[in-house]
Amino acid sequence: MLRDLRYFKKQNVIEASLGAKGAYFLLFDDGTITWGNVSPSLNNLLENPRGDIKYLSLSLSNSNYYLEYQDGTRNFEASPPLHNHLTATCDMDPFVIGFSHDSIASHFSCGRSLEDTAEELACGEISAHSDIFAIRVVFVRNLKRWHTLDNRRLKAFQMAELECVPVVKLGDATAKLAMRICGYPDLGQDVYVRGWDDDDDDYDYDEYDWFDDYSDPFD
């Protein structure tokens, strides 16, 4: 950072942020930015900004960040409580939300099982609002029903018999997704869990991770 300050010594720093493990960000009065030791995802955003940056806040304890542009748009990586505060549209009953696939893996990508997660949710050891990212839902007009893009999280919420969970309403489903959902009339009711039967032990669980693009141990 000191090297950057010397290089830009004729300009005034108007925004500065320090983060964990030597991460830093500097914004100068002419709009020039410089940074170092940030996460790969943030580095990509700073190398290819989609607009003029207003400010950037770095976490002092991990690689999380909050980046806001002059037009008010933003990018961020945050813990579940803050992420849900920033993105969740409302709470919904998980039993009125449909699935978007006919089968899911029995474990999350981090290795945690649906059953263990549901048990911890049911007993209050973890919370849908503060420990797990809100599930994304889209509206399928032909069915007049909301469906999730995060099927395993929804299944865990239902198994725990939760009454309400945070959701991010993304609007209408794409035509392709709506067509596929409408092709499975039972998607609104339940989903088959692969891996609960012995025949599924060797299944490649990552195959259906394409719906879950949050950096989330519960995706």
pLDDT band at 198 (very low <50, low <70, confident <90, very high): very low
Nearest CA among 146, 149, 127, 122 for reference residue 136: 149
Question: DSSP letter at 209?
Answer: G
Q: Is 70 exposed, middle or buried, given 0-12, 13-18 or 19+ CB atoms closer than 10 A?
A: exposed
Asked whether 11 and 30 are in contact (CB, 8 A), the reply is yes
Could you read off the pLDDT of 31-68 as tens digits, one per residue? 899 999 999 999 999 999 999 999 999 999 999 999 99
Averaged pLDDT of the chain: 85
For 140-152, letters b (16+ CB in 10 Å) and e give: beebeebbbbbbb
Q: Tokens in use for 137?
A: 């839902």
Nearest CA among 152, 164, 100, 89 for reference residue 128: 164
